[in-house]
Structure 1
Amino acid sequence: MTFAKGLEVLAAFDAEDRELTIPEVARKTNLNRTVARRLVLTLEHLNYLECNNRVYRLTPRILRLAGGFLQGRDIGKHVSPILATYSEKLKGSVSFAMLDGNEAVYVAHSPGDPRMITLGFTVGSRLPLHATAIGRALVAFSGWETRERLLEVAPRVKYTCSTKIDLDDLRDDLDLSVRNGFVYVQDEFEQGVASLAVPVKRPDGALIGSLGIVGPNPRFSNEKNKLEKVRLLHECAGSIAMIV
């Protein structure tokens, strides 16, 4: 139980809350302030947190927790070079995401031209399942029970006027995506930005993750070019599936 609460404290530090006081940690984790203080001080003693004027933030040691996963899956050794190769072919950034609870989390990323997107993403970035192609692919190509569970429990925030949040609309889009073999989302997470994603599956059909690209809408306006990007993404996904 204490271990689980300690992980909750670590998870409280994110892109929005990079620095927190003990009272803020307690509020964000719904922990008693005394318990939060004890956990924070323990994590500071273990060098996972550092303190400056009663404000805490994560230290680089936190990367140890992710290192075992990334090394065990050969992410840095094999997956990243594959993404780099296809990033060059696709002339843009390529990301590999996996399902973590009710979100998509980037486990590998090959940056392209930073001008192609306005939101910066990297390994560890988390995205909503409903409003992004890479997230929606994780839902669309999961088994039926997993798909329905995610649709019901995952947050459905309306990021733009185009964001689909109605369950029937999302189900229709997921069905279409499965028939097409890819997911295309436009203007739903950020106005003027589109994303394209395909599933990464094992030979037995089990879903490993999803592979996606993001860029301005005009980049995907030509249907022939878009389908070529889909082909390259599928090719890339097949290479990753043999490793992960």
Structure 2
Amino acid sequence: MIPKIQSPMAHRLKELDFLSEEAIPKQVEKKSRLFSKGEVKVFKGKHIEKFSTLKLKGLNIYGYEYGICYPRNRCYPIFIYQCIYVPKRAVVTVNYAYHDLEGTGNIPGIEELLALDEKLAEERLYKIVKPQHFLVDELIENTYNGMVNTEYVEAGFEDIIVLFKQWYQGLMKNYNCLPEESEEFCLWKSHFKDKFYTKDYGYVVTKRYLGKNWTDKVFKEYLR
């Protein structure tokens, strides 16, 4: 049996005063199929295009939480988290996707974010795992990608919130994109969205548990 999650990621995000939840259709927000359940939430905030989350429970043996936050009018990394938990182990990952990996040193607040990322990883993770192979060339190298004991899943959730707050501080320090930078970033972001939703582990597993129709709608219109 997987642990009962007392405070899912969406509940924790609701508590942040710089985010507000967006209303979405009820038939999209929640989905049940046999013994599986899915739930989608969308949040917005200053300089945030949207922060979309997905929670999935398959029977009583599998849990999955995912979130992706897109910056608005800022050439700034996309924030992504994923949590996979089964009865005896869990994987918690945080990633920062960016269009110009050679220029990451110029991103305001990135050094502080990566230092905190490394510190929390050392405290929480007992084994490091590699990011999904198709993402490697578009991710800023970081440390918080690994395994935790299942009883510490919610501690991992709290680490994600801490990292997201730090990410947001950097976002608020960032400057508006120059026209040419904005065009390059927007083109990359659109390409990244298309590639991510079709190849990502979360898309594949959600389709397996909750069916292709709901999964396609959620990923194309709300998580993308």
* Alignment TM-score, normalising by the size of structure 2: 0.33
Higher strand share: 2
